[in-house]
Chain A
């Protein structure tokens, strides 16, 4: 973690960007995997889920940061959960009002945002210690990173499993869809493949750094 406990972070671009790449909640911290795997069988679902989670994350982190000095330390987790659950209830009713189709497609996973560890993790590790504006920006970045990860899975799974993107045909008509991709195993495989890719990139970079150090050490 880049932030030390009890140290107020200064607002910078990094506050936002960290959530996207360096501390991406899904690809790096491996948090909140359940919705990532469950609702990414189409791009539309992935976007909706990402936005809903981002809203709950930002709203609850901001509120928690605002009242962080009022919450007694012993009951903080319970308080966080209640705050998060309230916002999730709001989102649940809003999505139901906007689009019933979407509501049925996402199913119980809207209400299960409560149990998404990204949100509770952020509340405990960041919002409970940092000032309001940095918390707002940081949680926005984390939400964006989460949405990005959902999109990365959703697009791959929809294109390979159904031949479409957002409902539009993108693959040639003679393309045989890989049905397994939109079924449960596909979620595990695609996420595994992404993690593999990231691990490979990170390893390459580390090796290059080592080489450079070796070269400068020899010179």
Chain B
């Protein structure tokens, strides 16, 4: 798969195989922090940053582990790197915007267990992307994640004013919305690119 062009990789990760709506990665923050547009935007940016850092690191680690023939340690190394990257982002945000830190709350440290990030590292290894392709893939995934989060937040803000049956409020309603969004994103499948 070395021959894929950069723009194709970007589009593929961002819309065709959107990480949230087509591959089901990162559902927890998608449902948890998508009630306000501003928070969703910041969460998207933070996740994108962690994605970039961990994608670059995962590329290096993979080279090193292949060299040393220690492939079975890959998963453990990836998750350790991601955890450190999240710590880095947390320190950065704490320094520059304590308000933002409060609004993201528990979901910031939970980026560590955001499967979109680990998934990204695993997919790029499986697809044998080179360095530049990995970075573009991470960027695309981050944009796709932010896009899904923003769309969802926009819809949910509107829904606050709508009169839905009391029993369907909350998680059930959000999932139905996500289903509709996912259906809409399936329309991009014609752009090419298979699953995974």
Contacts and interface: CB of A to CB of B under 8 A. Distances in A.
Interface stretch (A12-20, A115-123, A132-140, A141-149): A115-123
Secondary structure of the B contact surface, majority rule? helix
Contacts of B28: 30-31, 33-34, 117
Contacts of A116: 113, 115
A107 interface: yes
Contact of B27 (A33, A92, A189): A33
B150 to A, nearest CB: 18
Contact of B122 (A35, A81, A111, A199): A111
Contacts of B178: 188, 192
Contacts of B172: 192-193, 195-196, 199
Q: Name the residue among A31, A114, A191 with the largest chain B CB count within 10 angstroms.
A: A114
Nearest to B76: A85
B79 A114 contact: yes
B183 A82 contact: no
Interface in B158-181: 166-168, 170-176, 178-180
A184 B182 contact: yes
B83 A81 contact: yes
Given A82-B80, A107-B196, A183 B186 contact: yes
Nearest to A31: B28
| Chain B interface residue number, banded | 35 or more
Interface string B132-172: 00000000000000000000000000000000001110111
B114 A115 contact: yes
Contacts of B23: 38, 184
B62 to A, nearest CB: 14
Contacts of B117: 115
Nearest to A108: B122
A192 B27 CA distance: 13
A1 B183 CA distance: 36
Secondary structure of the A contact surface, majority rule? helix
Given A34-B28, A199-B170, A88 B75 contact: yes
Interface string A72-114: 0000011001100110110011000000000000011001101
Interface of B: 21-28, 31, 72, 75-76, 79-80, 83, 109-110, 112-115, 117-119, 122-123, 126, 166-168, 170-176, 178-180, 182-183, 186, 196
Given A82-B80, A115-B117, A188-B182, 19 more contacts: A31-B28, A34-B24, A37-B24, A77-B112, A82-B79, A85-B76, A114-B79, A115-B118, A116-B113, A116-B115, A117-B28, A120-B113, A185-B183, A187-B24, A189-B176, A191-B175, A192-B179, A195-B171, A199-B170
